[in-house]
Structure 1
Amino acid sequence: MSTTPRGTTGPQVSKRRRIHPAWWVAAVAFLALLAAAGFRAAPGALMVPLHEDFGWSTSVMSLAVSINLVLYGLTAPFAAALMDRFGIRHVVAAALVLVAAGAGGSVIMTASWQLLVFWGLLIGLGTGSMALVFAATIANRWFVHRRGLVMGMLTAGSATGQLIFLPPVAAIAESTGWRPASLLIAAAALVAVPVVWFVIRDYPEDRGVLPYGADAESSFETRAAADRLTGGATRRAIHGLFFAARHRSFWALAIAFAICGATTNGLIGIHFIPSAHDHGMPSTTAAGLLAVVGVFDILGTVFSGWLTDKFDPRILLLAYYTFRGVGLLLLPWLLSDVVHPSMVVFIVIYGLDWVATVPPTSALCREVFGEQGTIVFGWVFAAHQLGAAAAALGAGLIRDTFGEYTYAWWGGAAMCLVAAGLSFAVKRSRQSSSRTTIIAEAAPSSASRAEN
C-alpha cells in the first residue's frame, strides 16, 4: 500500500512550483500575527492618555492588561487543540475579529470596568487564540526542514507589529487622542481576516503538496500522528497538561518562560514608556525606543531560530536570560529625560534578546514531548503570559507605592538568573526513540479510547 497521503500526488508536485506553498502560508501567518500584535504595542502608549482623560490609576490600567495577559496565556493551549478540531483559518479569523471588537469597542467606554472587558476579556481571548501556538502549529505542520527558522520568523511577527504600530499609535494618541489610535488597531486586525481565510489551510495535502523538506513517508507519518490525536479540544488540552506536569522538564520550561514573559511583555512592554515619562522623556520618544526594540527583535528572533537548528537550545536560553538580567539590573541608571548612547545599547541588546527565547523553547517542547509538543508548548506559553500578567500588575503596584519602578527592574533581573539556571536543567531526549516512548505514554491507545 502506498504511504503517500490522500489528496497528494507525491513530491513531484512541489517541484513544479517555484515557491513552495508552505512559504505562502508562513507569510500570511506572519501577517496575521503582525495584525494581532497591534494591541501588544498599545497599552504602554495609551496609559498616559487614558489617565489624563479618565483619571484612572496605573494599578487599574495594569489590572486590565493583566487580565488580557492571563487570558492570552490560558487560551493558548486550548487554541492549539481547537485548531486541530475546527481548522486553523476558522480559529485565526475568529481571533482577529475579537481583537478588532475589543480595540474598536473601547472607544465608547466611560468606566474602568469597561476597560477590563474590552482590553482584558475580548482582546485577551482574541490574541490568545493565536499566540505563539499558531506559529508552532504552522511550523510543525508545513515544514520539516527550516522549522526553527520559520518559528523564529513567525515569532518576529509580533515584534514587527510592535515596530509598525507603536510609533503611529503613540503619535496619534498624543496629537489626536487615544480613540483614533484604538480604531487603527481594530482596522489592522479586520484587514487580515480575508487574507487568512483565502490562503491558509490546515495541512500541506490540502494544497496538494508535501511539507517543505519532507518525503512521502515522513509526511504520511506526521499526518497519521495528528489523526491519532484528534478529539475533544478541551480534553486534549487538559490531557496534555496532566501528561506534561509529570515531567520535571515541563516545570523548568514553564517557570523559565513565565520569567521570560514577566521581563518582556509584563515589565518593558507595558511599563517602559510610563517609567521613561517619569524621568521626563516624551512618550513619543520612549515609544520610538520600543519600536527600535522591535527592529532588533526581528533580527534576534530569526537568528535565534537559525541557531536553534544548529546548537543545544539550553545553552542558547542560558545566554539569553543572562544578558537580559544584566540589562534590567542597569536600567534604573540608564533612564533620563534624553536618549544617551548607553540607553541605545540597552535597547539594541534587549531587542535582540526580546523573544529570542521562543525558538529554543519550542524546540525543546517538540523534542521532549513529541507529538504533543505543540499543546505542551501552549501550556508553557500560558505560563509565559501568567508571568507577564503578574509582572504588569506588580510593577504598577510598585509604581503607585514607591513612586518609581526601580524595584521592579531589579526584581526582573534577579528572576532572569533563575530562568537561566532552570533552562539549562531541562533534560533533553538522547535519541528519537526516547521521544517515541514519551509519545506512547501520552496518547491513549485505540483500545483504551474504545473502552472510554
Structure 2
Amino acid sequence: MNTKRMHYAWIVLAVTFFVLICAAGVRAAPSVLIVPLEAEFGWSRATISLAVTVNLVLYGLMGPFAAAVMQRFGIRRTVLASLVLLAGGVLLASRVEKVWHLMLAWGLMVGIASGNLAMVLGATVVSRWFEKRRGTVMGIVTASTATGQLVFLPVLAWLVEHRGWRNVTFTLAGALILAIPVVALLLRDHPRDVGLVPYGADPDAPPPPPVLGNPLWNAIRALRDAAKLRDFWLLSASFLVCGMTTNGLVGTHLVPACFDHGIPEVQAAGLLATMGVFDLIGTTASGWLSDRYDPRKLLFVYYGVRGLALLYLPLAFGDQVFGLPFFAVLYGLDWIATVPPTVKLTTDAVGSSDAPIVFGWIVAVHQIGAGIGAFGGGTIRTMLTSYTFAWISAGSLCVLTACFVLFIGRARIVSTATSS
C-alpha cells in the first residue's frame, strides 16, 4: 500500500479506536468486580451497583459538555486530560476499603473521565474528519466497545481468579498510560492541521468556522434548540432503553447472574467476550447499513431482536450448552448496533454542526438508563434473589421501543410532503 495516498483521517480513526478500546475495558470491569467486592467487604450487590450507577450516569452527563470542550479546546487536549484522570481514578480504586472510597474513585473520577472517552468522542471525530462513509466509520468506532470487552474481559476475569481483583485495576491503568504517548504523537484536532480537508470532502469547500464562546453555554444552547424537536425526545427515549438493557443490566449483571447459576466467572466473562466479537460484526455492519437503508427501520429490527433475546434469557440459563451461547451471539450482534442509525437520525434532525453535542445529550440519557438498569438489576437481585424479573421487564421495554422508533422523523417527512 502506498501510504502517501492514505488520508490522515484513517490514522486519527485508528488512534480513536485504540483509546476507546482502553476506555471500554474500564467500563467492562465492574462485571468481574462485583462478586469479589461482595466477598471481601460484605457489601450487597445493590450497594456496589449504586457506585456503578454513579459512574454510568456521570459517564453520560459528561458527554455533551465533552463534545463542547472538544469543539472549543481541541480533541487532543481533551483526550489527554481525560486519560490522566481516568488512570488516576482506576489506580485509586485499588485502595478502596469503604463504600465512599468506591463512590469517589470508581463512581466520580472514573465516571467523569470515561464520559470524555465515549461515543461522543467517536461522533466528534467522524463529523470532523469524514464527509463520506460516516455511517460505516461510526460503526467501526462504536464497535470499539465490543473490542474492548473482547480484549479485556477474559484477562480481567483470569486476574480476579488467580491474582486478585486489585490486579485488574493495575492492568487497566497500565493500558491507559500506554495510550497517552500514542495520543500525544498521532491525534490531531482538524484535517487542516495536516493540510487536508475531511475525507471525501470537496477540496474547494470553505472550512467550517471555528467554534467560539463558552463550552458550557454551547452545550446548553444545543440542548435548548434540540428540546423543541419531537425527534430529540423520541431518540432520547429509545436510547434510555438502550442504555438500560446493555451497559446497565446485561453489561453489569450478566456475569454475576451466571455465577448464581453455577457458571465460573472466567467462563461467564468469556460469554461477554463472545458477545463482544459478534457486536464488532453487528455494529460495523450496522454502520454500513445506515448509509444505505432507512435508519428507523433498522432501529425497529434492533430493538425488537434485543427484546426477544432478553425474554429468552431466563430459559437460556437452563441450557448452558446451547442456550447461553445462542443468546450471546444474538445479543452480541445487536449490542450497540443502535448507535450508527441513531447518529444519522440525530444529524438529520439538528444538522451536522450541532449533531455531536446533541448526540452527547442523547448519550447522557442513554447512561441515565444504564444507571437505572445497573441499580435496578442489583436491587431486584437483592430483594428477589433472582434476576428473572429484570430480564423480562427489560425485554418488554425493548419490544415497546421497537414500535415507537418508527415515528422518528415522521413529522419531518410529512412537513416536506405538505410543502411540496
Structure 2 residues not aligned, in runs of 5+: none
2:308–2:399 CA contact under 8 A, matched in 1: no
Counterparts of 1:94 and 1:298 in 2: how far apart (Å)? 28
**Structure 2 residue 140 is matched with structure 1 residue 153:** yes
Q: Which deviations, in whole Å up to 9, do the C-alpha atoms of 1:67-114 show, x marking residues without a partner?
A: 000100000000000001111011111111122111111111111110
Query: Which residue identity lines up with residue 307 of structure 1 in the other structure?
Result: L
- 2:243 is aligned with 1:261: yes
Amino acid in structure 2 at the alignment position of 1:33: L
Letter in 2 for 1:346: F
**Deviation (angstroms), 1:52:** 1.1
2:324 aligns to what? 343
| C-alpha contact 1:300 1:351 (8 A) present in aligned 2 | yes
1:124 aligned to 2:111?
A: yes
- The 2-side partners of 1:111 and 1:349 are apart by 39
Quick one: distance in 2 between partners of 1:33 and 1:348? 22
- Structure 1 equivalent of residue 312 of structure 2: 330
Which residues of 2 match residues 52-451 of structure 1 at below 5 A? 52-218=39-205, 220-221=206-207, 223-224=208-209, 227=210, 229-336=211-318, 339-370=320-351, 371-427=353-409
- Which structure has the bigger radius of gyration? 1
The answer to whether structure 1 residue 19 and structure 2 residue 18 are counterparts is: no
Q: Which blocks of at least 5 consecutive residues in structure 1 are unaligned? A: 1-14, 435-452
Residue 48 of structure 1 aligns with an amino acid whose one-letter code is: V
CA offset at residue 217 of structure 1?
3.6
- 1:4 equivalent in structure 2: none
- Residue 357 of structure 1 deviates from its aligned partner by 0.2
Distance in 2 between residues matched to 1:309 and 1:368, nearest whole Å: 16
Q: What is the one-letter code of the residue matched to 1:304?
A: S
CA distances 1:17-39 after superposition (whole Å, capped 9, x unpaired):
22110000000000010111111
Contact 1:49 1:174 in 2 (8 A): no
Specify the SS of the correspondent of 1:38: helix
Identity percentage over the alignment?
Answer: 48
In 2, distance between residues paired with 1:187 and 1:429?
A: 49
1:388, CA displacement in angstroms?
0.4
TM-score (ref. length: structure 2)? 0.96
Give the match for residue 444 of structure 1: none
Paired AA for residue 339 in structure 1? Q
Q: 1:186, 1:107 → 2: CA distance?
A: 10
Distance change in 2, residues 1:141/1:429 (3 Å): farther
Cα separation, 2, equivalents of 1:213 and 1:174: 49
Structure 1 counterpart of 2:216, which letter? T
Separation in 1, partners of 2:52, 2:400? 25
The structural deviation recorded for 1:57 is: 0.8
SS at match of 1:173: helix
SS at match of 1:37: helix
Give 1:252 shift: 0.3
Output the CA distance in 2 between the equivalents of 1:125 and 1:65: 12
Which portions of structure 1, spanning 4 or more consecutive aligned residues, are displaced by more than 2 angstroms? Answer: 15-18, 428-431
Report the Cα distance in structure 2 between the residues aligned to 1:353 and 1:321, rounded to whole angstroms.
8
2:241–2:401 CA contact under 8 A, matched in 1: yes
Letter matched to residue 306 of structure 1: W
Q: 1:273 corresponds to which letter in structure 2?
A: V
Number of residues of Structure 1 aligned to a counterpart in Structure 2: 413
